[in-house]
Structure 1
Amino acid sequence: MSILICIIAVVVLLGVLAYSRAPLWWSSLLLLIGAGYAVLQQGAHPAVTGILLAALLVLNLKPIRRAILTGPLFAVFRKITPPMSQTEQEAVDAGTVWWDRDLFSGKPDFAKLHQYAAPKLSAEEEAFLNGPTEQLCEMLNDWDITQKRKDLSPEAWDFIKKNGFLGLIIKKEFGGKEFSNYAHARVVTKIATRSGSAAVTVMVPNSLGPGELLQHYGTAEQKNYYLPRLAVGEEIPCFALTSPEAGSDAGGIPDFGVVTRGSYTDPRTGVYFENVLGIRLTWEKRYITLGPVATILGLAFKLYDPDQLLGDKEDIGITCALIPTAHEGVEIGRRHYPGTSAFQNGPNWGKDVFIPMDWVIGGQDFVGKGWKMLVECLSVGRCISLPAMSVATGMLSSYTTGAYARIRSQFGLSIGRFEGVDEALGRIGGLTYQMDAAQRLALTALDSGEKPSVISGILKYHNTEKMRKALNDAMDVHGGKAVCIGPRNYLALGYHAIPVAITVEGANILTRSMIIFGQGAIRSHPFVLRELKAAMNKDLVAFDDAVIGHIGFAISNMVRSIWMGLTGARFVSAPVDGPTAQNYRDIVRFSSAFAFLADTGMATLGGSLKFKEKLSARLGDMLSNLYIATAALKKFHDDGQPKEDRPLVRWAVETALYDCQEAMHGFLANHPNRFVAWFARRVVFPCGMTLAQPADRVGTRIARNLMEPCASRDRLVQFMYRSKDETDSVGVLEHALKAVIATEGIESKLRRAQREGQLKSITAKARLQEALSLGLITADEHTEIVRARRLKREVIMVDDFDSNLETADVDAIHRSIV
């Protein structure tokens, strides 16, 4: 019995050491002490200590360990690890890791998370957001843009150029605004709540494009010439990457250039240059935003040097150049028609077009470095543009649907009081909170100098997908009003444009199934990249350190997962007290469980995990939802933990953690090795799947907040453009909402009087007059009711057109029959 107690004590202490991630020699010392006690006090055979001592010497003495253990493992690892291509290597090296590394660690440091400064607008940025951005929004009419002009109005284009909207990220020394990434995103968000086409027009020059590339990699001459012109809209940029044969596989672009000597006329100056070193280009691109109206074309292509004019390398690699669209041979101007969106987008092409070498972005020194340039810039742009537009859609859906659900009534009751609508409203608000929180945290990283490539993939996929869900719910609540498009319909045009956001900057299917975990496992895992680099560099010493650390890491996460699963993570310390404390504990638990499952997947499936896209996608979902949950808690913390926002943060965090749990369940249910899956399930879910979706009452509280003017709603839609014009389809909502709320008691009194037989008139209008005549309501109340009903009719009216669907009846509100 004493031996058994000794074994149990050693196992428990080993578990404690593993849980706390103590050094290997601590565990080794504990085992030796336990073995010595068993031999000296309990009569165990001395060979036990000898065998154990030998094993521990192998583990702890690095020269012996490398010779006997990690050396043979290194040889096998090098054989089974596929070599990285140059594009894969550049993609891995591009960008930085940030909070995603903490989530992969199994022990996220919440103190560090809370120390990250909350993003704020400077006085200049706030003035721009509340000044020119508001003015631009006032000018925009999305119906006119998308259905009539198929473009922004000349006045809007002129305003955008003159007020520096195309130079938000360009440094002040070149005439730009030099705004923070946070300000850039908020400007895009506000514009997008008014017009998606206008938002795309503004965001593209400030995202992945010539401006961003020039600032980071351009020569002094290129910067001095182009950046001031881009900042004031004198030049309109576009960037051409996608080819008909290479969409998501951007590294496989067929477009090519050959280094040669040639002659050309510079379209900017009209000067002819003869026999200069340059590139002869052939390309065909499509889906290029601003392409049809661009004056300067950023172009990505593969560069070859068969005559070795630049050196001894023939295949130089992906290169980026900047070409005036007026240059001879550049074919540009035709348009694609992406749904109901009207932003300028189209193909361009050219055959055997000669350009001088100094048109390469960064000059000759940067030939072949285009892929790294693109990936690094893309990791920034993907955190800003589409996520900002997704947040805008969430805000618009929350604001309009909450108001509409309170204004619109059926069976004498606001439709928002019906539980089915209430459920949809709760989701809309919760998803908007998740999207905004996820982007805010990413923008914090960007403005601190990070380029979080893994997080950018998370944002691109999850924000656009949550946007789709929120807008679907908004459409359902609005019913026929959202189905029939027209000037009054503020949802349908955005709904029809959803596929654009889902498709561009990396198709969502690919982003989820391959990129998020595929990149995250290499970049964010504390040991995998070290192991891969050691193998590539034939560095056994580095491999030995990494693989031993990796084994300890995996064991630690296994022990932590079991213990926190058994205890519900109740003994984990939380950085805050109150209603969100358990959320922090659950995140620590699921962070360890995720790290354990990630290692389990990589260890048992090896390189084939790359092709098990459904399993890889679920691992990516785990990481993504942990990020979303922590982002929501950070937003709540930064906002001062307002009591009114507790339903929102609770819904956001509990939903994300539940989705994380479901992803774990799906991974284990579909892992091809059933024994491994059985064992891992007992580690991760020792007491079963214990997390539930948010309670119905949480969604109801969110819905109630969306259906009335309050601080929580205003914070949620803070950066939305809200017109104050009663004749505006969105602007009228606030007026109608306040009027309907103010008269709900009077309307209730009128319905009661009708039920009791006091009001006998047939129509609502006649009964209202009858109530006034009988003294049931005052003259002031009569005036209030008339106004509220007029505004309510304005809200619920659906556009109708002439027989050719050309002219809408703007006076339909006055066509009252009953």
Structure 2
Amino acid sequence: MYTACTKHSLHFDQPLVFKFLLLAIKVFSCDLVIQHRGVAMFSLIMKWMQSNKILPKISDTERQALEAGHVWIDGGFFAGKPDFDEILRQPYSLLNAEEQAFLDGPCEELIAMVDQYEVLRTKKVPDDVLAFIKAQGFMSFLIPKQYGGKEFSPLAISTIMAKINVHSFTVGTYVVIPNSLGAAELIKHYGTEDQKNNYLPKLASGEYVPCFGLTEPTAGSDAASIKAEGEVFRDDNGDIKIRLNFRKRYITLAPVSNLVTLACKLTDPNNLLGKGEDIGITTVLIHKGVEGFSSGDHHDPVGESFDNGPLIGKDVVVSVHDIIGGPANAGNGWRMLMEQLAGGRAVSLPAGAIGASKAVVATTGAYSMVRQQFGIQIGLMEGVEEKVGKIAALSYLLEASRVFSCSALNAGIHPPVVSAVLKSYTTEISQALGKDGMDVCAGAGVMQGPNNILAKTYCSAPVGVTVEGANILTRTLIIFGQGATRCHPYALKVVDAVEKDDVKQFRSSLVAWMIQFIVGVFRVLFHGVTRGIFASVPDVAPETKTYYRRLIWAGARFGFLTNMAMFAIGGKLKARGKLTGRYADALAWMLLGTATLRRFEAEGRKQEDLPLVDYALTHALSETQKAFEGIYANFDGFIGSILRFFMTLPLRLNPLATPPSDAMSHEAAKTIQRYNEQYLRLIEGIHLPDNQSLGLGRLLKSFRLLSEVEPILARIHEAQKLHKLRRGSVEELADEAQKLGIISETEAGLVALALAARLEAIEVDVFSPEQYYREDKGLEGIYSGAPVAEEKVA
């Protein structure tokens, strides 16, 4: 989300890198023989690096981003040696009894109250729904029980968000925003005792509806460059206050919020707080109604609209005690945001994306077997089947990633690189699956109305792609930009040693890095020649061992290429977004594949899920292969020439994987083309309506009935092949088959019931002219929201 996370890349000038490597190797050799001369030599190297500015200084904001959270399983891939014994020991959690009861109780009650089409049409959450949200504690999941909150786990919060958002994203924002980065989370971790006692109970009850003011017209993904101003001054009564000027936009719940958490750059010209003139980014609480503060106007987001709008402040005055954490915490806003986003990116937006992917599974799996063309179910046509198989397998992969990453958060691990991968790739993949689902449903997906259950998910997908930092920047700047230094076993240690002028730390870190690099070269060559067959694999399902071996092989190559990038490109990486994006792709698909294997083991190696695992891992490895080929083809300089001319052909002749085969997509599609225990398990977590005459309810009714009569229809079809029955639709021949004794009267009745349900399920909504046309008020009253010239705004 923030480019400050990418400004710390190591900087090696291309012409100097080889001199540096030769010098390091020479010194290392001397050091093995003459220790004291080696120390002197390393001191010389360090001074040389300082004088040639090989490594940049890391600013305070950059360091706060680097030090936020933890290195998790991603560290093994950056080191070139993923440890699957350790990975399989990582938790894969379940909801506790209280959380499951809330999901089955109040959560289901809330969804049953919401007429999703009416909310979609009016853009408004009904008063009784909002009152229920507040009364049942839907805004309190992050808040400790001592302050009236639910204190649910990140996994539970994610699961609840996924369930509600699929039904109504408009309603879901009233759950997502209070339980994401904002007042409750920041006060819980950093607030004073007075702030906790005052605000947390009121946030838990919904008395305060919060929003978080961060994004500005000139600061979106580059949030470190916000221009919102806060100036410390002493008022006429001698009290220390802050005067705020700001203009924020894209703020969810801003039009209805009565408590804003505002991020601003705080200055103190008279040093009243004793922290100097330029204090830095600070988070401040602002109450609705304070003089100079304006909110209530709306943006109109694409797809499923929700309360979102600008926040504008002109000379807004608040107390220094409205800083979260009080005056002592002034200037710590950036650190607070980085620490909470380190894990937070893996919760809300992935939850919405993965809930949407399950909705696509539920819809397309059913519709592909209910809808017929050319006398057969469209899901049996290979073109459609290819889409359905991809949807089923990648949804399995996405859910595995959600649960695995939230399980890490449950355990107190907050991995910023993994969280960035989750946010970026789950929303991108979900958007692609939504498009595939629309292709399968065709006209039924396009025609809007109460019975359409796919279009709103498809149309709203761009929101998740842009929120919390555009995915383009997350992919091309953050994931590898942050991971290359933070997750590498030695890079940050070398940078720290140079900055501290610590020869001993520099010597040990650099020698270790050189050894790691040399060993890594041999490791990638060995695994490449042997296709990872000798890689150490833990005791896992025999059918999946090949995927572990290939991920170890891929990890070795990724570690090698990471070292190449840091040695040869270094500080220029942040300008090489196309290249770093390919590094991010390789890392992301390795992590997503790893999560899929973890799920398969955690869920007891369900044999019926193997087609999904096979497709998902083959797809993940083929995408990793594609990323590696792109890196080889676009690497800079002499090293790039070596990669292109000597290593590209072996890479292509000896690939990690090729895309999933037709047979794989066939087997994967079958997992969601029967209404059975597996189908229900794969869509677990979305609301299944009791109403069987509308939307998903009537589709599932038809799907269930058709699955039940499938053996009956098979007997009719067999009779046709034996020429006992004429050609035609097997359902329409049920009466004739009954007269011939092929099926019973009861079975013929079941077939007729299933046929009627099919015809009902494929209908789309029709509106009268009075219902369809709505009065057009034009653009009168709409304005850009830009400040007038004389206003002093940030």
Does the alignment pair 1:212 with 2:185? yes
Instruction: Give me the whole-angstrom Cα distance separating, in 1, the residues matched to 2:30 and 2:284.
Output: 58
Kept in 2: contact 1:201–1:343 (CA 8 A): no
Matched residue type, 1:96: H
Does the alignment pair 1:544 with 2:507? yes
Deviation per residue, 1:607-657 (Å, 9 max, x gap): 112211111111111211221111111111110111111111122222112
Deviation per residue, 1:13-42 (Å, 9 max, x gap): xxxxxxxxxxxxxxxxxxxxxxxxxxxxxx
Match of 1:155 among 102, 121, 128: 128
Distance change >3 Å, CA 767–CA 628, structure 1 → 2: closer
Does the alignment pair 1:703 with 2:669? yes
Aligned to 2:789: none
Deviation per residue, 1:128-156 (Å, 9 max, x gap): 01111111111222211111x21222121
Instruction: Give me the whole-angstrom Cα distance separating, in 2, the residues matched to 1:549 and 1:758.
Output: 78
Aligned to 2:79: 105
Alignment of 1:761-772 (within 5 A): none
Aligned to 1:303: 266
Match of 2:588 among 615, 624, 629: 624
Aligned to 2:630: 666
Alignment of 1:528-543 (within 5 A): 528-543=491-506
Deviation per residue, 1:58-108 (Å, 9 max, x gap): 346553223224522443256132322332222112121111112212222
Instruction: Give me the whole-angstrom Cα distance separating, in 2, the residues matched to 1:571 and 1:680.
Output: 27
Match of 2:360 among 397, 411, 415: 397
Match of 2:693 among 714, 727, 740: 727
Instruction: Give me the whole-angstrom Cα distance separating, in 2, the residues matched to 1:712 and 1:752.
Output: 27
Aligned to 1:781: 747
Does the alignment pair 1:736 with 2:709? no
Matched residue type, 1:203: V
Instruction: Give me the whole-angstrom Cα distance separating, in 2, the residues matched to 1:287 and 1:804.
Output: 34
Match of 1:367 among 320, 323, 330: 330
Q: Which has the larger radius of gyration?
A: 1
Does the alignment pair 1:223 with 2:186? no
Kept in 1: contact 2:355–2:686 (CA 8 A): yes
- SS state of the match for residue 287, structure 1? strand
Matched residue type, 1:716: L
Distance change >3 Å, CA 776–CA 510, structure 1 → 2: same
Aligned to 2:217: 244
Does the alignment pair 1:508 with 2:471? yes
The alpha-carbon deviation at position 732 of structure 1 amounts to 2.0
- SS state of the match for residue 695, structure 2? coil
Kept in 1: contact 2:713–2:731 (CA 8 A): no
Kept in 2: contact 1:280–1:355 (CA 8 A): yes
Does the alignment pair 1:407 with 2:381? no
Distance change >3 Å, CA 569–CA 753, structure 1 → 2: closer
* Bigger mean CA deviation after superposition, 750-759 or 617-626: 750-759
Alignment of 1:358-757 (within 5 A): 358-577=321-540, 578-679=542-643, 685=650, 688-744=654-710, 746-747=712-713
The alpha-carbon deviation at position 176 of structure 1 amounts to 0.4
Instruction: Give me the whole-angstrom Cα distance separating, in 2, the residues matched to 1:486 and 1:631.
Output: 37
Kept in 2: contact 1:262–1:354 (CA 8 A): no
* Bigger mean CA deviation after superposition, 749-758 or 135-144: 749-758
Instruction: Give me the whole-angstrom Cα distance separating, in 1, the residues matched to 2:731 and 2:95.
Output: 50
Alignment of 1:118-129 (within 5 A): 118-129=92-103
Deviation per residue, 1:640-677 (Å, 9 max, x gap): 11111111112222211211111111001011225544
Kept in 2: contact 1:408–1:796 (CA 8 A): yes
Instruction: Give me the whole-angstrom Cα distance separating, in 1, the residues matched to 2:716 and 2:615.
Output: 38
Matched residue type, 2:278: D
Deviation per residue, 1:177-197 (Å, 9 max, x gap): 001111111111111221222
Aligned to 1:287: 250
Instruction: Give me the whole-angstrom Cα distance separating, in 1, the residues matched to 2:36 and 2:570.
Output: 27
Aligned to 2:318: 355
Kept in 2: contact 1:105–1:595 (CA 8 A): yes
Matched residue type, 1:724: D
Instruction: Give me the whole-angstrom Cα distance separating, in 1, the residues matched to 2:575 and 2:631.
Output: 14
Instruction: Give me the whole-angstrom Cα distance separating, in 2, the residues matched to 1:312 and 1:648.
Output: 57
Aligned to 2:792: none
Instruction: Give me the whole-angstrom Cα distance separating, in 1, the residues matched to 2:646 and 2:518.
Output: 14
Matched residue type, 2:429: K
Matched residue type, 2:461: I
Kept in 1: contact 2:731–2:751 (CA 8 A): no
Alignment of 1:30-179 (within 5 A): 56-59=29-32, 61-69=34-42, 71-77=44-50, 79-147=53-121, 149-179=122-152
- SS state of the match for residue 346, structure 2? helix
Aligned to 1:33: none
Q: Which has the higher contact order (CA 8 A, sep 6+)?
A: 2
Aligned to 1:196: 169
The alpha-carbon deviation at position 169 of structure 1 amounts to 1.2
The alpha-carbon deviation at position 454 of structure 1 amounts to 0.7
Instruction: Give me the whole-angstrom Cα distance separating, in 2, the residues matched to 1:555 and 1:366.
Output: 45
Distance change >3 Å, CA 677–CA 643, structure 1 → 2: farther
The alpha-carbon deviation at position 791 of structure 1 amounts to 1.4
Instruction: Give me the whole-angstrom Cα distance separating, in 1, the residues matched to 2:646 and 2:186.
Output: 50
Instruction: Give me the whole-angstrom Cα distance separating, in 2, the residues matched to 1:108 and 1:53.
Output: 30
Matched residue type, 1:85: S
The alpha-carbon deviation at position 679 of structure 1 amounts to 4.5
Kept in 2: contact 1:201–1:344 (CA 8 A): no
- SS state of the match for residue 323, structure 1? strand
TM-score by length of 1: 0.87
Kept in 2: contact 1:561–1:683 (CA 8 A): no
Kept in 2: contact 1:644–1:711 (CA 8 A): no
The alpha-carbon deviation at position 688 of structure 1 amounts to 3.2
Kept in 1: contact 2:27–2:42 (CA 8 A): no
Instruction: Give me the whole-angstrom Cα distance separating, in 2, the residues matched to 1:103 and 1:363.
Output: 41
Instruction: Give me the whole-angstrom Cα distance separating, in 2, the residues matched to 1:178 and 1:783.
Output: 52
- SS state of the match for residue 145, structure 1? helix
* Bigger mean CA deviation after superposition, 287-296 or 685-694: 685-694
Aligned to 2:3: none
Distance change >3 Å, CA 127–CA 60, structure 1 → 2: farther
Matched residue type, 1:428: I
Aligned to 2:20: none
- SS state of the match for residue 279, structure 1? strand
Distance change >3 Å, CA 307–CA 743, structure 1 → 2: same
The alpha-carbon deviation at position 759 of structure 1 amounts to 9.1
Instruction: Give me the whole-angstrom Cα distance separating, in 2, the residues matched to 1:798 and 1:54.
Output: 76
Matched residue type, 2:340: C
TM-score by length of 2: 0.89
Kept in 1: contact 2:42–2:507 (CA 8 A): no
Deviation per residue, 1:177-235 (Å, 9 max, x gap): 00111111111111122122222221111011111001000110111011011111111
Instruction: Give me the whole-angstrom Cα distance separating, in 2, the residues matched to 1:583 and 1:301.
Output: 48
Structure 1: give runs of 5+ residues left out of the alignment: 1-51, 264-273, 809-818
Instruction: Give me the whole-angstrom Cα distance separating, in 2, the residues matched to 1:702 and 1:257.
Output: 56
